């Protein structure tokens, strides 16, 4: 931004002014006209020069009873992506999309039903944070890449986004989670590239495991047949050794599919002995899919069994349950309308 200012014959600090204005969540309407601190002629020059703020446009928003805000945003080529702001007492977590649609076709997911349209640009990923901050009038404190898309299939944009989240949004890598269904060779590539591009690898890697053995995993995640569950665990062990960061395993509780006590024991044997954490997730039923939610008493038994087996485990209830809250649902509904 300093270079832009200098190119227009302005002092470098004018560039810094634009920069701080852009990343200040209190500035709701991101337009060059609104930067009152800049001389009018400079603002006009920027507009004439084709500069614009923002990549996305708000299409729909939905505020759930628990304060979770879900946004449907349009891209310039008229695609749409979802992002979610999840407030708790001390945090505002932004759940970001990395692609329009997704090629992975996980059987429990609304986004996977439509396949991949395209990967998002860095600016489209970052703009989701600005929208959440503006709409919720609050600074985002934590980031999870758990929205639409498989982040490791858009790894360059992912890493550049993480750099900007760290440097421009002032959110440390430790408060960022990258969630993946796991793509062969990409777990080691993620840590290697992260060290190369960012100089460190301190974000949390979350693996959407959702099964305690290869057979069940293949029935709910078709791409699992290309990457054996034992190899995923081996690659995760290596990730922990290289980065010193524990890995989180996401486990969606699907009634009658993966939620029996024998599955808890099998999962414990699979992942025991290394730095990891299991996040059990309450399934958010969607009408496009036949899976059912595990009753809470069974989830509790499952969680107790993992704990008893020495596994770090927590249970995550779905937020914003009352309407359109499942992954990809808001977008699907908008397409159907």
Position 211 contacts ligand SF4 (CB under 6 A): no
Overall size of the chain counted in residues: 337
User: 314 vs 69, 109, 205, CA distance in Å?
Assistant: 23, 22, 16
Position 264 contacts ligand SF4 (CB under 6 A): no
Report 106-135 residues binding ligand SF4 (CB under 6 A).
Answer: 106, 109, 111-112
Catalytic residue ranges: 82, 327
CA pair distance 139, 175, nearest whole angstrom: 13
CA pair distance 199, 208, nearest whole angstrom: 26
For the bound state, the minimum distance from the C-beta of residue 10 to ligand SF4, rounded and expressed in Å, comes to 43
Closer to ligand SF4 by Cβ: residue 165 or 327? 327
- Binding residue count for ligand SF4, defined by CB under 6 A: 12
E strands present in the chain: 57-63, 69-74, 80-87, 92-95, 99-101, 116-119, 142-145, 176-180, 204-208, 247-253, 276-282, 313-316
Q: Contacting ligand SF4 (CB under 6 A), which of 133, 150, 250, 259?
A: 150
Query: How many C-beta neighbours within 10 Å does residue 128 have?
Result: 28
For the bound state, the minimum distance from the C-beta of residue 252 to ligand SF4, rounded and expressed in Å, comes to 9
Position 271 contacts ligand SF4 (CB under 6 A): no
Contacts of 6 by beta carbon, 8 Å cutoff, 6+ apart = 12, 15
Tokens of 22: 């852009």
Report 52-111 residues binding ligand SF4 (CB under 6 A).
Answer: 102, 104-106, 109, 111
Closer to ligand SF4 by Cβ: residue 252 or 276? 252
Q: Contacting ligand SF4 (CB under 6 A), which of 38, 181, 182, 211?
A: 181
Tokens of 309: 């087996």
For the bound state, the minimum distance from the C-beta of residue 98 to ligand SF4, rounded and expressed in Å, comes to 9
Position 327 contacts ligand SF4 (CB under 6 A): yes
Residues of this chain that interact with ligand SF4 (CB under 6 A) are 102, 104-106, 109, 111-112, 148-150, 181, 327
């Amino acid at each position: 931004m300093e270079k832009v200012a200098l190119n227009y014959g302005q002092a470098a600090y004018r560039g810094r002014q634009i920069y701080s204005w852009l990343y200040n969540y209190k500035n709701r309407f991101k337009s060059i006209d609104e930067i009152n601190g800049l001389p009018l002629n400079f603002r006009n020059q920027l507009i004439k020069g084709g500069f614009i703020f923002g990549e996305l446009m708000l299409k729909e928003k939905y505020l759930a009873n628990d304060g979770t805000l879900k946004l449907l945003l349009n891209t310039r080529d008229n695609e749409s992506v979802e992002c979610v702001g999840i407030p708790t007492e001390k945090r505002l977590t932004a759940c970001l999309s990395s692609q329009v649609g997704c090629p992975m076709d996980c059987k429990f997911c609304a986004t996977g039903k439509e396949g991949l349209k395209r990967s998002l640009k860095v600016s489209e990923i970052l703009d989701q944070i600005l929208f959440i901050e503006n709409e919720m009038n609050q600074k985002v404190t934590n980031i999870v890449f758990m929205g639409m898309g498989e982040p490791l299939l858009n790894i360059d944009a992912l890493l550049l986004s993480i750099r900007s989240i760290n440097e421009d949004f002032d959110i440390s890598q430790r408060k960022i989670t990258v969630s993946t269904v796991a793509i062969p060779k990409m777990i080691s590539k993620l840590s290697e590239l992260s060290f190369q591009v960012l100089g460190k690898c301190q974000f949390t890697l979350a693996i959407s495991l959702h099964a305690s053995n290869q057979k069940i995993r293949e029935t709910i995640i078709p791409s699992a047949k290309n990457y054996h569950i034992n190899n995923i665990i081996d690659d995760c062990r290596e990730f922990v050794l290289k980065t010193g960061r524990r890995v989180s395993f996401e486990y969606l509780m699907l009634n009658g599919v993966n939620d029996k006590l024998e599955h808890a024991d099998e999962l414990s044997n699979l992942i025991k002995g290394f730095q990891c954490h299991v996040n059990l997730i309450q399934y958010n039923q969607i009408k496009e899919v036949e899976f059912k939610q595990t009753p809470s008493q069974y989830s509790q038994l499952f969680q107790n069994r993992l704990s008893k087996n020495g596994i770090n485990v927590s249970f995550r209830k779905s937020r914003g349950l009352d309407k359109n809250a499942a992954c990809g649902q808001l977008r699907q509904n908008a397409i159907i309308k």
